[in-house]
Amino acid sequence: MNVLNYRDRMGKFILFSNIFLFLLILILYGCKGFTEEELTELLKYLVPIKSIYLTAVVKFVIDQRNQAPSPGHSHFLVLPLYKTVTRSLIYAHISILYCLIIFSALNIITFDFLINAIVIIESAFGVYIGLIVADMFKTGSEQVN
């Protein structure tokens, strides 16, 4: 898979998985899975973190809106190790968040446990996801083929 296709695929996954995460939270709130106070606290933790990731993707999209790919850029292939590591971290990160949020809404885990787990998960994965997103979605003069 070439760099442009991989970046496009992962950018869409990051965008839509985060949108669906917030929709899931609102649906669970509507089904009485969370109280109003819990919803507020949950969003207080997730919105700033998710905004950082999405800002990098949106900034890249805006920067690329009128640009053609660099000559030869689309021919670069993504190395299997890079794909494995980036996919594993991004997919694990979002999957764990989805599961924990659902478990909390179903009272399998407590809300306090959920909040503590989010802090731990975002601390553990945040650095790595931040590096991946920043590297994958470099803009303008930051880009390196």
Torsion on CA atoms 49, 129, 89, 139, rounded to nearest 10: 120
pLDDT value at position 65? 72
Phi, psi of 136 (to 5 degrees): -70, -30
pLDDT of residue 41 exceeding 90 = yes
pLDDT for residue 72: 53
Say what the pTM is: 0.82
Spans of all domains in the chain: 3-62+79-138
Q: Is the pLDDT of residue 140 over 80?
A: no
Task: Match 């991989």 to its residue by tokens.
Answer: 6
